[in-house]
Amino acid sequence: MITISGDTDEPSPEAVNLIIAATSPAQIRVDEVEAGPVRTSAFTSSGYSLGRGIPQYALAGNDDHLLVRIEHTLTIGDDDSTAQTTIRVVHLATFECTDDLETTAPAIAEWFETAVYFIIYPYVRQFFTALTADMGIPPVVLDYLRQPQRDDSGSTDASTNHE
């Protein structure tokens, strides 16, 4: 069972390690998708950018599962909005609590940034590659995630020249 207290102090590395030890990924799935319109002029350019929303958390299943919802927006093409194709996807990850756990919201946020996002990102990466290929456009292959790419705003610096 997971209990989240209202404590707002900075989480310690030990608090995050306790969450890692007490949870196990149970499911990662696509929850929402919004894509298009496909603008063929977007593909005369070779750039893309990936933006990440703020993750959301909830307890489920008699408080023995922690749900994490994360949204990404992939923008393909130039800064001119008439020449861009945008794809928005929401992934929902379920983590099973294997031990009793008492934690705080800041510790869960830090757990997401140091552990969970690195579990979810390969699914995000694969999804965008498959979806862009299925849309009949050149597949977008996102860069691998590296810790220095993350900033405090929650965005990933995944812009690249994709050819």
Tens of pLDDT, residues 71-81: 999 988 866 66
Structurally, at CATH architecture level, domain 24-136 sits in: Roll (3.10)
Model confidence pLDDT, tens digit, residues 103-119: 888 888 899 988 899 99
Cβ 128 vs Cβ 89: under 8 Å? yes
Euclidean distance between CA atoms 1 and 102, whole angstroms = 8
Domain ranges of the chain: 24-136
159 has a pLDDT exceeding 60? no
Cβ 111 vs Cβ 20: under 8 Å? yes
What's the pLDDT score for residue 45? Answer: 54
Grade residue 148 by pLDDT with cuts at 50, 70 and 90: low
What's the pLDDT score for residue 82? Answer: 67
What's the pLDDT score for residue 30? Answer: 95
Instruction: Report how far Cα 153 is from the mean position of its chain's Cα atoms.
Output: 13
17 has a pLDDT exceeding 50? yes
Q: Residue 93: which of 119, 114, 61 has the closest Cα?
A: 119
What's the pLDDT score for residue 44? Answer: 59
Euclidean distance between CA atoms 159 and 136, whole angstroms = 21
Cβ 64 vs Cβ 97: under 8 Å? yes
